[in-house]
Structure 1
């Protein structure tokens, strides 16, 4: 009897593998093609990967060949894709945190205050305009079992978020991550996103009836976790960084330890109600800042995370996106209102904030364009909203389109604001000792490592 049950379980597992592997091959092929097309259009590769995910969903692939699309992305495959995508996002945010050069330079109280001003100026206008749009559109777009306040807060929160990984990849690609503009943008975006996730934790507590105490408990545990990681864990890891810097050897034992810390950090933040990607990011910040250690992390992990794991997440989101339902003025006008509210709030809010702290108008509008990109983070945000049934599939699809459009606009707006000769001066002004992106060696092309 036991042998028969074992054989059945083995056959079931083998069948699942035979479904998952072809799905991943299709995802990689489509992402590679769309990523290459994005580069030809002078857009970041990640935008092509986002579009690839949408194309593999019901909008195109499912519309042209619905039988084949259902055969590749079966109901059994989707949970596996979800797990893979969650691990990929957590590891990518870890690498972003590990590459963030927060320990050097004059990152004192003034820079933190400026980052807080930038974050609030990007969040509050988008939040208020998005909430106002939601109130106007409530009868047309909301689920009947979701209150006006919940719908307004969720839509405003989604529009207030910034694609921190997206912004980091653009700045790394242009070697601006350690410039005054780059450091402030990264710090402001990290504050923006951390606040957005705490905001979502409170909103979910309201929606599920868990109460304000549960939400405050979540925020408190997140604060304690951050303090412990950035003090105790960072101090315990420092000798490893010194050893790697001295010997140049980053072995499997080191990698086992790092991956264990990252996944446990992601598990803890997911468990307390804040998505696992922020556990990964905080774990990255806790890593030793030694250049050799950071370079080893990047060289071992970045390519496989960017090429294999992140495209799975984009596809998982794309499977829930149906843009065909947005045809006609009945859907187009609400979508345009949502897009305009999000774009104006973030772009002008961030630009005016940068100008108020004595950046030039060109630099200010460049940061406004970059902070307006929503990419990965809004996709994560709205996937949670769809899973908790706060928004409908139509609203989800609208917000996916907002993510694609604002992400596509980021680089053109940046280039329009900062010409190539001005950007060269900005990079030339950096000190020679400034680390390369995410710890990459200076002779590794940035576009190859992060795009």
Structure 2
């Protein structure tokens, strides 16, 4: 690595942190989640504007592989935090309603996404692509949704509990479906047997690693290095087994023991590095692959179909499921709106699809735009639905 590359990399990192911070603050002032501004920051530095001149100037081609490596580390940290912050207590409250809502809000857009895959690419006979696009249509961004519900003081309301619970369960379903889609890419290869090791890895994690971590944490030792080694090792193992490394990071987050100071200490340290530096790098790397200027009129028609399936499928499935659970129309519509939040989780899934060759640049760009719009519309629609809060929506 030359001195010139070191200078270019450091300047690029400084520019990324500054831009993400500015755009995140701007988004919050517009009553949007900060992640919306950060994702848009990544898109703005990409080839969409000025033919990529800004990206070529600030992020020269010879440092982009380094940025991609840092982005992958940031993705490991993010998925670990998703697993770490997974709240199983949410699933115990109103378990029946949460299960119905989660299945309803996932199944309808998934089926429509499968049909959409055949419409967009009628000649693509890969099972992985069909399953992948169905999953991309069905996902809800639990971390972003949790932050939004907290900001709106809905955490203890009936709607808030049901939305968070169904989104949490939906997260598990979405990552499981994505794992199946990725696994089908390896069908027929000589290394396919490695996938059989995923279940033993999970069992070792919950039966051996979790109690071991709890025991060490009780000794009051600084566990950050131990957790970091385990996180990186688990991620490497799932990548070697034929799944993406994000599943190892997510699984290791789920394995972390509850009821100890370990979780709080680890979360704080990883957030300081991951969310301030590495995730903004991830947004920029993702944005460098988005080129909205290339979308043709037929592309806009495809985008309209994508948006209709994503929003309509999720909203209709959630509303019908909520009505089956005997919720009022306004509660049901609110749940359908909240569960349409896709945010960073969708961006992660789309980036994986691009890496694996399941998406081309044009379809990837359209789906990123869909993820941003579905997240941005959540706040205004919830506000519109609750200009006057009904008694059924107050805290319970």
Structure-to-structure mapping, 1:262-411, within 5 angstroms: 262-290=231-259, 292-327=261-296, 329-411=297-379
Question: 2:135 and 2:33 mapped to 1: Cα distance?
Answer: 25
Q: Name whichever of 26-35 and 188-197 sits farther off.
A: 188-197
**Structure 1 position 331, deviation (Å):** 1.6
- Answer yes or no: is the 8 Å Cα contact 1:241–1:288 preserved in 2: no
Q: Distance in 2 between matches of 1:365 and 1:311?
A: 33
Do residues 77 (structure 1) and 36 (structure 2) align?
Answer: no
Structure 1: runs of 5 or more not aligned? 1-11, 245-250, 430-451
Residues 93 and 277, structure 1, Cα contact 8 Å, conserved in 2: yes
For residues 212 and 339 of structure 1, the distance between their equivalents in structure 2, rounded to whole angstroms, comes to 39
Give the CA deviation at 1:36: 1.3
Distance 1:352 1:224, change over 3 A: farther
Question: CA contact under 8 A between 1:350 and 1:367: conserved in structure 2?
Answer: yes
State the secondary structure of the residue aligned to 2:223.
helix
CA gap of 1:416–1:211, structure 2 versus 1, over 3 A, is farther
Report the alpha carbon displacement of residue 325 of structure 1 after superposing the two structures with TM: 1.2
Aligned: 1:135 with 2:118 = yes
The counterpart of 1:49, out of the listed 27, 38, 49, is: 38
Distance change in 2, residues 1:97/1:43 (3 Å): same
State the partner residue of 2:20. 31
Which stretch shows the higher mean deviation, 309-318 or 180-189? 180-189
Question: Radius of gyration: which is bigger?
Answer: 1
Query: Residue 377 and residue 400 in structure 1: after superposition, are their counterparts in 2 closer, same or farther (change >3 A)?
Result: same
User: Which of 134, 158, 178 is the aligned partner of 2:136?
Assistant: 158
Q: Mark the CA change 1:189 to 1:74 in structure 2 (over 3 Å): closer, same or farther.
A: same
Tell whether the 8 Å contact from 1:167 to 1:373 is kept in structure 2 after alignment.
Answer: yes
Aligned residue-pair number: 396
Distance 1:336 1:372 in 2: 16
Q: In structure 2, do the counterparts of structure 1 residues 228 and 353 end up closer, same or farther at CA, with 3 Å as the change threshold?
A: farther
For 1:92, the equivalent position in structure 2 comes to: 78
Compute the TM-score of the two structures, normalised by the length of structure 1: 0.77
Query: Which residue of 2 is the match for residue 232 of structure 1?
Result: 208
| Aligned residue number for residue 58 of structure 1 | 47
CA distance in 2, matches of 1:202, 1:299: 32
Q: 1:133 to 1:300 in 2, by over 3 A?
A: closer
Q: Aligned-residue CA RMSD in angstroms?
A: 3.2
Q: Distance in 2 between matches of 1:181 and 1:223?
A: 35
- C-alpha contact 1:168 1:186 (8 A) present in aligned 2: yes
C-alpha distance in structure 2 between counterparts of 1:124 and 1:406, whole Å: 18
> How many Å separate the matches in 1 of 2:157 and 2:214?
25
Q: Distance in 2 between matches of 1:297 and 1:424?
A: 38
Does the aligned pair in 2 maintain the 1:127–1:159 contact within 8 Å? Answer: yes
How far apart, CA to CA, are the structure 2 residues paired with 1:225 and 1:169?
Answer: 31
1:280 CA displacement: 2.6
Give the deviation of 1:334 after TM superposition.
1.3
How far did 1:233 drift?
1.9
Deviations for 1:38-64, whole angstroms, at most 9, x for unmatched residues? 01110010110011010010002x52x
Post-superposition Cα deviations, 1:368-417, rounded to whole Å, max 9, x if no partner, equal 22221222222222222222322221111110111111111222233334
CA 1:135/1:92 → structure 2, altered by over 3 Å: closer, same or farther?
closer
Contact residue 205 and residue 211 of structure 1 kept, 8 A: no
After superposing the two structures, state which structure 1 stretch, 353-362 or 314-323, moved more: 353-362
Gaps (5+ residues) in structure 2?
none
Residues 358 and 281 of structure 1, relative CA distance in 2, 3 Å threshold? farther
Structure 1 residue 346, shift from structure 2 partner: 1.0
